[in-house]
Amino acid sequence: MFVGEASTGAEPTDVPVEVEMYDSEKYKAYYYANLEKMKLKHKIRYAKNSESLKEYQKRYRKDNPEKIKELFKKWKEENRDHLREYNKKYFKKYNKTERGKEVLRRAWKKQRVVNYDKILARKRLNYAVEYGHINKQPCEKCGEKKSEGHHKDYSKPLEVVWLCSKHHRELHRRG
């Protein structure tokens, strides 16, 4: 029996009375010492009450959208590396499917039309670097030798600020 759960009398309480639930170190210690038993207990309780729990979750999400959004944002920040790896694997698989290839083709086609000036500026800069008209410089913030050219104005393709990938991402995130 857990806090907030009404006893039916049919199920014996496995947790000793002196162990306070949820916020107690004793409860955590008991829980992890009896992990398999506790997992089974949760699984059984969920199976019995799955419909009512799903309804409760739907209501809670509907009634507290700001809190859900805040929790999800916090979770994403804490699990950024995990999400990045998951998305890499997912999109690598997805991009090999016919639908994924078609979506990529349409996206590239749209980008070529919408961002033609950006593409042209990048091409001109790459050409100038490749043929020695411009020398790549280290990052202007940290001195990293491997750097990328950041265009402040795409109409001036050879005027760039040299930044490492980390500082380039930061600059774009700030806007």
pLDDT in tens, 103-126: 999 999 998 899 999 999 999 999
pTM over 0.75: no
Token pair listed for 57: 């979750």
Domain boundaries, given as residue ranges, for the chain = 34-78
Consecutive H or E run containing 151: strand 148-151
Angstrom distance (rounded) from CA 55 to CA 62: 11
pLDDT tens digits for 132-171? 999 999 999 999 999 999 999 999 999 999 999 999 999 9
Phi, psi at 13, each rounded to 5°: -80, 125
> Is pLDDT of 20 > 80?
no
End-to-end CA distance of the chain: 52
